[in-house]
């Protein structure tokens, strides 16, 4: 008797072995390009080191805040805080990096702005006051 033919084998021939082995020779699985590595295959971080990049502080953030606070008592620091705050804010916007002390920069900048304006208004009022005193003194002599 002859061999019986299977209709399934006629429609689907047996799979041919692939020319490459399924795993690289090193024994480590390599993720195809453009796909993220599954969490279970990521190497663990060494003990004591944080995950990801450590948060950065802007180098002038604390100084801007201190100058803004000093501007309350010593007027010359207020416009310096305002200027440095504007400069730091422009740097941050240009670079796109987020710093942990951006709030210090904005608070110092605002304090500098407020106390610079108060100082300018105060100086203008003092000048107006002395002009009025000088005009009264000149009219009485």
Query: Which tens digits make up the pLDDT trace of 56-77?
Result: 899 999 999 999 999 999 999 9
What's the distance, Cα to Cα, between the start and end of the chain in Å? 145
Report yes or no on whether pTM surpasses 0.75: no
- Asked whether residue 9 carries a pLDDT value surpassing 90, the answer given is no
pLDDT band at 96 (very low <50, low <70, confident <90, very high): confident
How many whole angstroms separate alpha carbon 48 and alpha carbon 103?
A: 28
With 70 as the cut, is the pLDDT of residue 82 above it?
A: yes
Distance CA 68, CA 60 (A): 12
| Domain parsing of the chain, residue ranges | 61-140
pLDDT band at 85 (very low <50, low <70, confident <90, very high): very high
Dig out the tokens for 66 from the structure: 């201190």
Q: Residues 6 or more apart from 2 whose CB is under 8 A from it?
A: none
């Amino acid at each position: 008797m002859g061999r019986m033919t299977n209709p399934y084998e006629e429609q689907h021939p047996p799979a041919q072995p692939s020319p490459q082995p399924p795993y690289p020779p090193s024994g480590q699985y390599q993720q195809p390009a453009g796909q993220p590595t599954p969490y279970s295959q990521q190497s663990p971080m060494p003990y004591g080191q944080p995950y990801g990049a450590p948060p950065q502080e802007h180098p002038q953030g604390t100084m801007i805040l201190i100058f803004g606070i000093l501007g309350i008592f010593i007027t010359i620091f207020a416009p310096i805080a305002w200027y440095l705050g504007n400069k730091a804010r422009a740097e941050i916007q240009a670079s796109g990096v987020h710093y942990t002390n951006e709030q210090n920069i904005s608070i110092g900048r605002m304090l500098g702005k407020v106390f610079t304006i108060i100082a300018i208004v105060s100086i203008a009022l003092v000048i107006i006051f002395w002009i009025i005193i000088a005009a009264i003194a000149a009219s009485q002599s």
